[in-house]
Amino acid sequence: MSEDGDAIPGETDGPRGPRRFTVMVCRGPTCGEARGSAALTARLHEMVERRGLGEQIAVLEETCFGHCMRGPNILVYDTDEAGGARVFGPGLGAPSAVLYNRMTVADLEKVVDRHLVGGMVVRPFLNRPPARDP
């Protein structure tokens, strides 16, 4: 384990090629427009396209992960590990699934570089304390 990241269980690359990930952004009534989750989704699509990761990274939206006070949240999991099914939270259908809390557009660079490309969980973005809305 490094200071700010853990390797994700499983292969990083294998005979099938680079590891594939699904990134789901919550867009529910609490995390949605009020906290800028639309900007997160748009930026993720842009980054994936610009880096040519469209074959490996799927960016989706979900209504809610049940952690609204920590939102906006981003769930990341290994697409193949989940058998192509949607996963709705850590420990639900894919052991690799992690939920990043209180995400900002500025945080996304690290998630893409370290997790989606580098295969390391970005620990400082996990279990962030709930936000206090004005």
Q: Which of 24, 57, 65, 116 touches ligand FES by CB under 6 A?
A: 65
Q: 60-82 burial, b for 16+ CB within 10 Å, e for fewer?
A: eebebbebbebbbbbbbbbbbbb
Nearest-approach distance from CB 30 to ligand FES, in angstroms: 4
Site string for ligand FES, 4-43 (x = CB under 6 A): ----------------------x-x-xx------------
Q: Which of 19, 67, 114, 115 touches ligand FES by CB under 6 A?
A: 67
- Angstrom distance (rounded) from CA 111 to CA 44: 10
Return the closest-CA partner of residue 123 out of 111, 133, 106. Answer: 111
Nearest-approach distance from CB 84 to ligand FES, in angstroms: 23
Q: Which residue is nearest to ligand FES (CB)?
A: 28
Q: Which of 8, 21, 71, 101 touches ligand FES by CB under 6 A?
A: 71
Is residue 2 within 8 Å of 37, Cβ to Cβ?
no
Please give the residue ranges that form the binding site for ligand FES (CB under 6 A).
26, 28, 30-31, 64-68, 71, 73
